[in-house]
Amino acid sequence: MSLPPIVVFDLDGTLAETAPDIMHTLNVILQQEGLAALPVERARELVGAGARALIERGFKASGRPLDAQTLERLFEQFLEIYAGAVAPNSYLHDGVVEALDALTADGFVFGVCTNKPILHTRLILDAFGVTNRFAAIAGRDSYAFFKPDPRHLTMTIAEAGADPRRAVMIGDSRTDVATAKAAGIPVVCVPFGYTDVPVEDLSPDRVIQHFSALPEAVRALVPAA
């Protein structure tokens, strides 16, 4: 029996708008350290490389140096605070569920490959009621490797029991494009996520403006089951 084709999604900014709750948690950390809160609009340049990088970028944006010991302390605090309120203001992007339904009918299975810790990833997907839609869910700490290492993506595909020759990555950032290209897997980008440059400049295989366009984009890149 042949392995099914797979669509692997990034989470933050791709599947879902999670910036309000991520930035809220960051601002709790910044304010307890005597710094001003940052507006949620800064998420596009701050979010996307994991919580440690987010804290580092937040302090840099606030003009304060951050030593390694303090970063680790704040990182642990961030994870605890965020786990208590991962999704009160977050939501799936419009059209995601319908796109999953259409691609399921074509025989695709799905995975999530994100640099968010697996605990918070599962809590968010549970809050959205879509955890059972994914054959594999991999966070930053699921394997010994994480994006942009291509093994994060290829191991997610393997965990899902899917065909790596019929896989496509869906993302919103430089990290996602670099990961997919290193793995030799086509990548579709959404332009409404968290990126420091326009996704078109990263040369993905496709850019879609809405998830209603995802099934057609995926079918053009990956043979259906």
Report the distance separating Cα 103 and Cα 107, nearest Å.
7
The alpha carbon dihedral of 203, 209, 210, 215 has a sign of: negative
Active site residue 10: yes
Amino acid of residue 201: D
Report the distance separating Cα 162 and Cα 159, nearest Å.
8
3-state secondary structure of 7: strand
Of residues 10, 12, 21, 172, which has the active-site annotation?
Answer: 10
Report the distance separating Cα 198 and Cα 207, nearest Å.
11
Are the C-beta atoms of residues 211 and 95 closer than 8 Å to each other? yes
Which residues are annotated as catalytic? 10
